Amino acid sequence: MIAPSILAADFARLAEAADAVKGADWLHVDVMDGHFVPNLTLGLPVVEAILRSTEIPVDCHLMIDDPDRWAVGYAEAGAHNVTVHVEAAADPVKIAHDLRAAGARAGLSVKPRTPFEPYVELLRHYDTLLVMSVEPGFGGQEFTPAVLDKVRRARQLVDAGELRVLVEIDGGINSDTIEQAAEAGVDCFVAGSAVYGAEDAAKAVEALREQARRAM
């Protein structure tokens, strides 16, 4: 699965950016509040506008403080997958329940330096594990290969039937890094500059998908 990150698109033309990646599996939308991460991007009203502009399932990644209060609003708006950070959630089990009750998949994200093992039991309440391969907050950063150890462990648990999560990765995914991420066991690849920096975004999506398929 390829999820183009609209963070890398022209914010003055978000509807056109969504249309440019027809054929993508998900459309990844980064919500940053300037508190949990130092950057500020967009919020629920803009996400609602994006949802009205595309039929691609929207994958909301909430890099925000107090997701316990705000996350369910994105699910109620129609987001397909809503991911919160374990480092920010006060009651992640309740968040997962609320997101699912509102009709969305529930995703849990870990930063590059956040260990995976302490949250295995918690992930039994979730549908998606988002492994950050850069520090959250800004696009265009270099991929951190060390996080693939977390991906490999998650893949082992999924393949053994101990977890039922889709493994997603976000940060520095491009033609140079997608194959090693695929080999480690990633299911869904978030790609920003590699898609929206290409001359043809839709063709870039297909090229990345084919690379991942070959590596798998």
Of the residues 98, 127, 170, 187, only one is catalytic, namely 170
Helical H segments across 31-127, by residue range: 44-53, 67-77, 92-101
Listed in sequence order, the residues at least 6 apart from 203 whose beta carbon sits closer than 8 Å to its beta carbon are none
Of the residues 30, 33, 98, 187, only one is catalytic, namely 30
**Catalytic residue check, 159:** no
CA atoms within 13 A on the CB side of 26: 27
Run of H or E residues at 106: strand 105-110
Taking residue 95's Cβ as centre, other Cβ atoms within 10 Å add up to: 26
**Catalytic residue check, 170:** yes
Residues acting as catalytic residues: 30, 170
